[in-house]
């Protein structure tokens, strides 16, 4: 399970950088998009057999 969380955290960090770029341009990741992104991370984890992941824990490092 730890490997799954580590991989997802790397992707979350990339989204953090992307959100910073959006904010610099006067935007940000919208609430609906945030929820959708978190759902997709859970979907990806489940697709690889990690069916008992917690969305909040999975994306704990997010700044968006």
Separation CA 43–CA 49 (nearest Å): 10
Helix axes 31-47, 2-24, angle to 10 degrees: 160
Burial zone of 30 (CB within 10 Å; 0-12 exposed, 13-18 middle, 19+ buried): exposed
Is the pLDDT score of 11 beyond 70?
Answer: yes
Separation CA 23–CA 47 (nearest Å): 32
Q: What is the mean pLDDT of the chain?
A: 90
pLDDT band at 33 (very low <50, low <70, confident <90, very high): very high
**What is the pLDDT averaged over residues 46-63?**
88
- pLDDT at residue number 1: 67
């Amino acid at each position: 399970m730890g490997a799954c969380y580590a991989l997802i955290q790397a992707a979350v960090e990339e989204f953090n950088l992307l959100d910073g770029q959006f904010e610099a341009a006067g935007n940000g990741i919208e609430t609906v998009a945030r929820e959708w992104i978190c759902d997709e991370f859970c979907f990806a984890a489940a697709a690889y057999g990690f069916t008992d992941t917690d969305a909040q824990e999975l994306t704990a490092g997010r700044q968006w």
